[in-house]
Amino acid sequence: MLLWPDWSKHRTSRFAMATTRRRGPGLEDPSMELDDYSLYSHLSDEELVHLAIEQSLADAACPAGPTDITPSPSQPAAQTQSNPAQRARRVTSSRHVYNFPSANAPRPVQPVPSPTPSAPPPQPPRFLHLSVKEDFSPLELLIFNGDTEALKTLVRRKSCSLTEPNADGWITVHEAAHYGQLQCLRILIRTHPNTLNTCTFMGQTALWLAAAQEHVSCVEFLLERGADPNIPNKDKETPLFKACEKPNEQIVELLLKFGGSANTSCSQGVTALHEAARNGRVKICKMLVECGASIGATNVYGIQPFFTAAQNGNVDISKFLIKKGADINGQAGDGATPLFEASKNGHVTLVELLLSHKADANRPTNSGLLPLHVAVQRNHTRIVTILLPVTSKARVRHSGISPLHIAADRNRDDIMELLIESGFDVNANLSDERSQMYEDRRRTVLYFSVCNRNLEAAEMLLEAGANPNVDCFNPLLVAVRQGCIEMAMLLLRYGANVNAEISTHPSSFPSAVLLGMDNLPMLKLLLDQGCNALACFDCFYGNRPHPVINSPRRRSEELRYSTDAPYQRYIQFCEAISNPSINRWAGPIISLLLNYVGHIRLCSKLVDHLDSYDGWMSIKQKAIPPHPLMQLCRLRIRQLVGLHRLKLIHILPLPARLIRFLCYDVDCSLH
């Protein structure tokens, strides 16, 4: 079983393209003549290909290096030329197929170092993948090994296999160009000059394949013999395009010298200059421009070569193209500018270069975003600092989203601090269009930070003057639903409305109580801050029987904006506490609420809840008058202080124990 390199990932057809590297020095003798090759003249074609296969297996068992094999009179063997840069293309031949015995173990694959921003990706190793190969073309093996003597014999016999295409339309001249076998290529072109511009089924000529594999000598030979440098493949990629894609300066120079068109574009509209700009090859760009390449050519996405250079952070090419008159503010189809792309990809030097040449930092994309927006999104702090002085706040407002929104959404606290110090409005709202992208219709920067449980960012915004009561759903309700007591305390300290309601799903009691009933410490915090407990006992049915109703909606849906018609009736506390996930806590919840109310009457449904468990009978008694005078006094004092000043009650000129009593840190009883 012969171990054969698998190149299936590197070919656009069934034949896998070989990896990119130059062919080593070969043996070239321009004066050789066809009649000199008579070593195999007594063999048939079938015997000849068998010998080529046997020689290949013998080579696999020997160390790499030049090897001379002298045929014996009894058993002639094919003389081969060692080529350290040879590569294989995995095929399924449409010609001769043979099975072979096993050979040596596969050669180790060299690791490929990871590319860095300062260094381009390295060339692929000699063999990217090794796999077991049982079926392949003996004729291809002959070309692969560069066995010119065997090839010469086939030529003298006028073998039709030399020009017979396989399933992909490849003939031997394609194989020779692909593997970089110059001597084989010379023999084939001299014998069959009409195959010079023959195309495979994918439109690849021998010149195209040689250029794609960077075989400089083969490219030069084919061009000198009259190969057309402007025949593209099926994707309209010319040999020049492939040479710039690699890139290879020598081949580009040769192709341009022999008439290669610098402005031909592939099916995606990409030109050779686009590819050279992407790869950062200044010399190639200069050669192309000198030969008439258009610096304003656009691909199907409206991208120009200068845009590509900026996108990839190629400063030298950007400088060159600017000198040649490139449009520094040219926009792609989505409205992105070179500055936008450089900001997005973190190319600091290029951003500075573009701004020094008056690039417009306030030209938005089709979605309305500015370079500052995307720099914040990608966390490029240095670029944010550069863009802040040249970005118009009016243009930011017109975009419908503040960079602060993005910083809060991505938890970019350092950048958020920079933006606040630069004067960006902490109360900026998302536009209606952008707000509708969220189920909860969020608008403010603060809402994003609260949703992310980012306490530091929320405090930064509140200290800068953020209003916690603007959004459709109060950020406090988000903190309560999340069970984040520290966030709730922070919001309440800065004036969050403790009695806020869910406007799209109203209830007869504060929505914060609805969301916090399964968290008694959170519920106590809300009540301490003035949450209206009395509304929880204001039942429409009172002592009358309550009708059977559907269970209240799931809590996960409470902060989801709905376009459906609003509920015809308010949800009552006694209905909410009947939810199976809550009713086991009914007693402790009712007991806690009773501490914050005076004379009330429990409805029949709440009484049923308290009667369902013997341990809750004392809670039921707690609701029956008389109530402790101290409790009534505390309630009255807190009422006079007012809801918005409760957080300042600790500064009253009163004894510490009385302050603690007013803050519910001291209980009161009938005695």
Assess if residue 9 is contained within a domain. Answer: yes
The angle, 0 to 180 degrees and rounded to 10, between the axes of the packed helices 216-224 and 172-179 is: 140
Distance CA 79, CA 52 (A): 9
Say which range, 70-74, 333-337, 539-543, 643-647, has the weakest mean pLDDT: 70-74
> Where is pLDDT greater, at 538 or 256?
256
Joined together, the tokens standing for residue 45 give 């074609």
pLDDT given for residue 70 in this prediction: 33
Give the pLDDT band (50/70/90) at residue 45. Answer: low
- The string of pLDDT tens digits covering residues 478-523 is 999 999 999 999 999 999 999 998 877 788 899 999 999 889 999 9
Q: Which of 601, 593, 603, 602 is nearest to 631 (CA)?
A: 593
Assess if residue 233 is contained within a domain. Answer: no
Assess if residue 2 is contained within a domain. Answer: yes
Distance CA 184, CA 81 (A): 11
Cα–Cα–Cα angle for 547, 549, 553, rounded to 5 degrees: 155
Distance CA 634, CA 472 (A): 34
Assess if residue 181 is contained within a domain. Answer: yes
Strand, helix or coil for residue 3: strand
Cα–Cα–Cα angle for 612, 615, 618, rounded to 5 degrees: 100
pLDDT given for residue 58 in this prediction: 52
Distance CA 307, CA 329 (A): 9
Distance CA 329, CA 312 (A): 16
Assess if residue 235 is contained within a domain. Answer: no
End-of-domain residue from the set 227, 248, 276: 227
* Average pLDDT, integer, range 321-346: 96
What pTM, to 2 d.p., does this model score? 0.75
Joined together, the tokens standing for residue 147 give 């066995």
* Average pLDDT, integer, range 629-647: 81
pLDDT given for residue 549 in this prediction: 65
* Average pLDDT, integer, range 532-551: 81
Asked if pLDDT for residue 115 goes beyond 60, the answer is no
H or E stretch at 630: helix 629-641
Asked if pLDDT for residue 343 goes beyond 70, the answer is yes
C-alpha count within 13 angstroms, C-beta hemisphere, residue 151: 30
Say which range, 2-16, 340-354, 363-377, 472-486, has the weakest mean pLDDT: 2-16
Say which range, 88-102, 377-391, 515-529, 542-556, has the weakest mean pLDDT: 88-102
Assess if residue 304 is contained within a domain. Answer: no
- The string of pLDDT tens digits covering residues 283-324 is 999 999 999 999 999 999 999 999 999 999 999 999 999 999
- The string of pLDDT tens digits covering residues 389-421 is 999 999 999 999 999 999 999 999 999 999 999
C-alpha count within 13 angstroms, C-beta hemisphere, residue 100: 25
Cα–Cα–Cα angle for 618, 623, 627, rounded to 5 degrees: 105
Question: What total of structural domains would you count in the chain?
Answer: 2
Q: Work out the burial of residue 530: count CB atoms within 10 Å of its CB; fewer than 13 is exposed, 13-18 middle, 19 or more buried.
A: buried
Q: Calculate what percentage of the chain has a pLDDT beyond 90.
A: 53
pLDDT given for residue 72 in this prediction: 36
Give the pLDDT band (50/70/90) at residue 450. Answer: very high
Asked if pLDDT for residue 609 goes beyond 90, the answer is no
H or E stretch at 133: strand 130-133
* Average pLDDT, integer, range 429-440: 93
Print the domain residue range for 646: 626-671
Q: Calculate what percentage of the chain has a pLDDT beyond 70.
A: 76
The dihedrals phi and psi of 3, each to the nearest 5 degrees, come to: -80, 125
- The string of pLDDT tens digits covering residues 74-106 is 333 333 333 433 444 433 333 322 222 223 333
Distance CA 198, CA 164 (A): 12
Assess if residue 101 is contained within a domain. Answer: yes
* Average pLDDT, integer, range 148-155: 88
Distance CA 20, CA 94 (A): 26
Asked if pLDDT for residue 12 goes beyond 70, the answer is no
Residue 311 CB contacts under 8 Å (≥ 6 apart), including other chains: 278, 303, 338, 341, 342, 345
End-of-domain residue from the set 227, 249, 283: 227
Q: Which of 166, 238, 158, 228 is nearest to 198 (CA)?
A: 228
- The string of pLDDT tens digits covering residues 203-237 is 999 999 999 999 999 999 999 999 999 999 999 99
Let me know: does 153 contact 117? Beta carbons within 8 Å: no
pLDDT given for residue 32 in this prediction: 38
Distance CA 166, CA 168 (A): 5
- Prior bond of 625 cis (ω within 30°): no
Assess if residue 660 is contained within a domain. Answer: yes
Let me know: does 107 contact 53? Beta carbons within 8 Å: no
Other beta carbons within 10 angstroms of residue 222's beta carbon come to 30
Joined together, the tokens standing for residue 298 give 């656009």
CATH number for the domain spanning 216: value is: 1.25.40.20
Give the pLDDT band (50/70/90) at residue 51. Answer: low
Asked if pLDDT for residue 253 goes beyond 70, the answer is yes
> Where is pLDDT greater, at 598 or 316?
316
* Average pLDDT, integer, range 527-537: 91
Q: What is the residue-averaged pLDDT of the chain?
A: 80
> Where is pLDDT greater, at 53 or 274?
274
Cα-Cα-Cα-Cα dihedral sign, residues 216, 222, 226, 229 = negative
Cα-Cα-Cα-Cα dihedral sign, residues 218, 220, 222, 228 = positive
End-of-domain residue from the set 227, 261, 291: 227
User: Residue ranges of the alpha helices (H) in 137-203?
Assistant: 138-144, 148-156, 172-179, 182-191
